[in-house]
Amino acid sequence: MLNMVRITVIVSALLVSFTGFAHQTSHSQIKFQVEGNTISGQWHIGVDDLERSAGLDVNGDADLTWGELLHKQALIDSLAKTHLRIFQNQSMCNLVAANIMLDNLSSGLYVYLPVKITCPQVIKKITIDYDFLFSFDAQHKAILSIESNAETQSTVFNYDNRHFIFDSAKASQFQTFLDFIWQGMWHIWIGVDHILFLLSLLLPAALILRGGRWQEKQNLNQTLINTTKIITAFTVAHSITLALSVFDLIFLSSRIVESIIAASVIIAALNNIRPVVHRRLWLLTFVFGLIHGMGFASVLNDVGLTPGLELLALSAFNIGVEIGQLVIVAIVLPLIYVLSLRVIYRNIILQFSSFVIAAVALVWFIERVAEIDIVSWV
């Protein structure tokens, strides 16, 4: 019994820590277009990231104004030249930043910094170094895409990967396909609300409801069958709306989509505490999966689709999302199945974990509906 209490404490602590970092993922986006010896493009930098690195809130009143942002234009330009460097044959290309603007992306408010980079020769091969914010946040990521001659190459900069060699001779549709697979995997892993929705559905996967109480299922095959139904329903649903949204056949505002996604997490978690839907849980998953697909679409649109390669990029991104969620299932489901053999899992771990998930999602829901920040760390 003591061992199971320890397990409960550990699982609960991990869950609280995991949800505590929700929406803390820091990432920027860089898009370049190469023509001759010049590169034109833009760098989207999160306002929160700039606040941490440049102190945008001059008067410290926690209310960032456009005047305060303009006041830091020179400092932001300096950060760009310091942390985003392009080399051609060991010579640094000249980067010039234009006037900053603000842009709302699906993941929040960003500073939009147009840049123009001039290299000594026609650009065929360059090295790009990026090390912005890593001294503040080792989890920071930057998505880079470079278009040249209708071909696109991309990479993700992180703490351990700060250099990228662009070679126009290596640009290919296959490389684009691989890049968007990675971006799909990456975005499911940083999409904490999507992960918590899946986790809420998986928590009772190894149990069966009898007399209004969760009981041990004692059947691994049935657990796998039920899990497959849930994952398949989620996959089919979000694939439909992802495609329809990317090609502008359906549209809902980001505020509505993100609010419903938060509500889906609340409902899925509360359903574990007070089961209402249990026989056709896959159907509930499908309905909410349609909304989650719109959330994925907003992320994909933010990354950008290369003209003429929309279908290729969409397919690769969707494959990446599926791979990413299968990795999560492969990690979580065996642990859930083993723990489900214990009474304390059904009576305490399942209930408490679901309560924590619902509480965190409720904060998200209020924030997204009211467009306010309640707690900075969720």
pLDDT at 37: 94
pLDDT at 376: 52
pLDDT at 2: 45
- Assign 371 to helix, strand or coil: coil
Domain boundaries, given as residue ranges, for the chain: 2-23+191-370, 27-171
Six-digit token pair at 41?
A: 């493009």
Q: Which residue has the tokens 């278009």?
A: 147
pLDDT at 55: 73
**Identity of the residue numbered 284:** L
Label residue 74 by pLDDT band (50, 70, 90).
Answer: confident
Contacts of 24 (CB under 8 A, 6+ apart): 139, 377
pLDDT digits (tens, 9 = 90+) for 236-287: 999 999 999 888 888 888 889 999 999 999 999 999 998 887 778 889 999 9
Label residue 308 by pLDDT band (50, 70, 90).
Answer: low
CB 326, CB 248: distance < 8 Å: no
pLDDT digits (tens, 9 = 90+) for 8-50: 444 444 444 444 444 445 778 899 999 999 999 999 988 888 8
Strands 141-148 and 27-35, bridge-based pairing: parallel
pLDDT at 122: 93
Compute the mean pLDDT over every residue in the chain, rounded to the nearest whole number. Answer: 82
Label residue 360 by pLDDT band (50, 70, 90).
Answer: very high
C-alpha distances out from residue 65 to 26, 59, 211, 214, Å = 21, 10, 57, 52
Six-digit token pair at 43?
A: 């760098």
Q: Answer positive or negative: Cα dihedral of 87, 89, 90, 94.
A: negative
pLDDT at 375: 62
pLDDT digits (tens, 9 = 90+) for 106-135: 667 788 899 999 999 999 899 999 999 888
Q: What is the mean pLDDT of residues 60-88?
A: 81
Please tell me the distance from the alpha carbon of residue 23 to that of residue 25, in angstroms, as a whole number.
Answer: 5
Please choose, from the candidates 47, 48, 44, the residue with its C-alpha nearest in 3D space to the C-alpha of residue 29.
44
Question: Could you tell me which residues are beta bridge partners of residue 230?
Answer: none
Please tell me the distance from the alpha carbon of residue 27 to that of residue 47, in angstroms, as a whole number.
Answer: 11
Six-digit token pair at 353?
A: 């974990």
Q: What is the mean pLDDT of residues 338-361?
A: 90
Contacts of 206 (CB under 8 A, 6+ apart): 216, 217, 223, 333, 336, 337, 340
Phi, psi for residue 101 in degrees, rounded to 5:
-140, 170
Please tell me the distance from the alpha carbon of residue 72 to that of residue 42, in angstroms, as a whole number.
Answer: 18
pLDDT at 36: 92
Please tell me the distance from the alpha carbon of residue 85 to that of residue 94, in angstroms, as a whole number.
Answer: 9
C-alpha distances out from residue 337 to 220, 222, 328, Å = 8, 11, 14
Is it the case that residue 1 has pLDDT exceeding 70? no
Is it the case that residue 195 has pLDDT exceeding 50? yes
Is it the case that residue 377 has pLDDT exceeding 60? no
Share of the chain above pLDDT 90, in %: 35
**Identity of the residue numbered 228:** T
Q: What is the mean pLDDT of residues 164-169?
A: 84
Tell me which of 348 and 158 has the higher pLDDT.
Answer: 348
C-alpha distances out from residue 84 to 28, 170, 280, Å = 12, 22, 51
Strands 38-46 and 27-35, bridge-based pairing: antiparallel
pLDDT at 123: 92
Tell me which of 372 and 267 has the higher pLDDT.
Answer: 267
DSSP string, 210-246: ETTEEEE---HHHHHHHHHHHHHHHHHHHHHHHHHHH
